[in-house]
Copies of this chain bind each other. A is one copy, B any other.
Amino acid sequence: MNTLGQIGEHEAIKRLTAMLGNHSDLLVGAGDDCAVATLPHTGSDQVFTTDPVIEGVHFNPGEIPERIGNKAAGRVLSDIAAMGAQPQWMLVNVAAPPEMDFQRLEKIYAGMGALCARFGATIIGGDLAQGACLELHLFGTGLVPEGSALLRSGAKPGDAVFVSGPLGCSITGKHLDFVPRVEEGVFLRETGLVNAMMDVSDGLATDLRHMLKQSGVGAVLAAESIPKTGTLEQALYDGEDFELLFTASAENAETLQRQWERRFGRALPMIGKATAEAERLELKHGDGASVILESKAFEHFSRVDARN
């Protein structure tokens, strides 16, 4: 017998994903931030994602309820943003113990509702059932013009690599209070200049490795260019930043930075370059020192580092 703990989250997801079905209307299945399906005759594709937020895993038992709601809705909105899509519908499943304070649940809903309203998403249903601890399972859909969803697999050798904001130390609060980069995601898709995009949930080093793998490219990061809240180590590995990570061709890089600055009034940090050496992720320092980065993200179930 193999337990989930022995196999680890990523390997388990890989094996389960292999069991899923297929359909001619399905453009992108499991493995990106959202699944993408055609909506024939509408000029749009529809994106789908789900995210769990579980007490003791994604937040501490005593946490402020509005923050829990913000995180629950924000994770889904961030996945939708990472496709360059406009959020649409959301449904919420809640499992909770009978002794839970109902007002606390209302405040969680208020937190979810406020963030959804801000980004044009509408909560339209869900369910409530008894469970051992508080779990929220959110499902979201979004819309994107036909064929324009930004995937993890689009990066090309020579592309400039960008990140939408500072990374690291999310545990001090950002993992609960973050603003999903919905406006940025839609803007980036509309520029037509972005080749690949995803959100940073497992940490820059791990998530960029996913993008490199799915794109069949490598990357060299410039250590000093990575915007960070704490140390470089924290920026690379902490995770739950919910910033957007994306690439554009070298020739479009400056145009993209200029347009971004005009739109958002802040600089767009270019943190490295994609290379032709598939899946090789190198970190270069200004002094010439260089290191190959391994993955060491948080994995559900596994307590050891995942080095894949």
CB of A116 to closest CB in B, whole Å: 7
Contact of A3 among B43, B50, B99 (CB under 8 A): B99
Q: Does A124 contact B29, Cβ atoms closer than 8 Å?
A: yes
Q: Return A264 CB to nearest CB of chain B, in Å.
A: 26
Q: Is A16 an interface residue (CB 8 A)?
A: yes
Is A7 an interface residue, CB under 8 A from the partner? yes
Q: Does A128 lie within 8 Å of B12, measured CB to CB?
A: yes
The answer, yes or no, to whether A308 is at the interface (CB within 8 Å) is no
Among B2, B13, B48, contact of A91 (Cβ-Cβ < 8 Å): B48
Q: Cβ of A123 and Cβ of B48 under 8 Å apart?
A: no
Whether A137 touches B300, Cβ cut-off 8 Å, given contacts A30-B125, A123-B21, is no
The reply to whether B20 and A123 form a contact with Cβ atoms under 8 Å apart is yes
Supposing A21-B117, A93-B137 touch, asked if A16 and B128 sit within 8 A by C-beta, the answer is yes
Interface segment among A100-108, A175-183, A240-248, A285-293: the answer is A100-108
Interface residues of A in 1-17 (CB under 8 A from B): 1-7, 9, 12-13, 15-16
Whether a CB of chain B sits under 8 angstroms from the CB of A96 is: yes
A39 CA to B42 CA, complexed, in Å:
8
The answer to whether the Cβ of A172 comes within 8 Å of any Cβ in the partner chain is: no
Q: How many protomers of this protein does the assembly include?
A: 2
Query: Is B122 a contact partner of A23 (Cβ separation < 8 A)?
Result: yes
Which of the candidate stretches A51-59, A145-153, A228-236, A275-283 sits at the interface with the other chain? A51-59
Cβ-defined contact, B125 with A35, below 8 A:
yes
Tell yes or no: A89 within 8 A of B by CB.
Answer: yes
Q: Are A122 and B26 in contact (CB under 8 A)?
A: yes
CB distance from A252 to the nearest CB of B (A): 30
A215 part of interface (Cβ distance < 8 Å): no
A142 to chain B, nearest CB (A): 13
Report yes or no: B21 in contact with A51, Cβ–Cβ below 8 A: no
Determine which of B35, B122, B127 lies in contact with A21 in the assembled complex, contact meaning CB atoms within 8 Å: B122
Please judge, given known A-B contacts A9-B128, A125-B50, whether A96 and B4 are in contact too, CB under 8 Å: yes
Residue on B with the closest CB to A28?
A: B124
Q: A19-B113, A42-B42 are in contact. Are A300 and B4 (CB under 8 A)?
A: no
* Known contacts A127-B52, A131-B54; A4 and B98 CB within 8 A of each other: yes
Quote the shortest CB–CB distance from A75 to chain B (angstroms).
Answer: 9
Chain B proximity of A74: nearest CB distance (Å): 15
Closest 3 interchain pairs by CB?
A: A5-B98, A137-B137, A139-B139
15 new A-B pairs (CB below 8 Å) besides A9-B129, A52-B127, A95-B137?
A2-B103, A3-B99, A3-B101, A9-B128, A16-B105, A19-B113, A20-B122, A21-B122, A26-B122, A48-B89, A50-B127, A52-B95, A128-B300, A132-B132, A141-B141
Give 12 CB contacts A-B under 8 Å: A3-B99, A4-B100, A12-B102, A12-B105, A12-B128, A16-B128, A48-B91, A48-B125, A54-B129, A95-B137, A132-B132, A139-B139
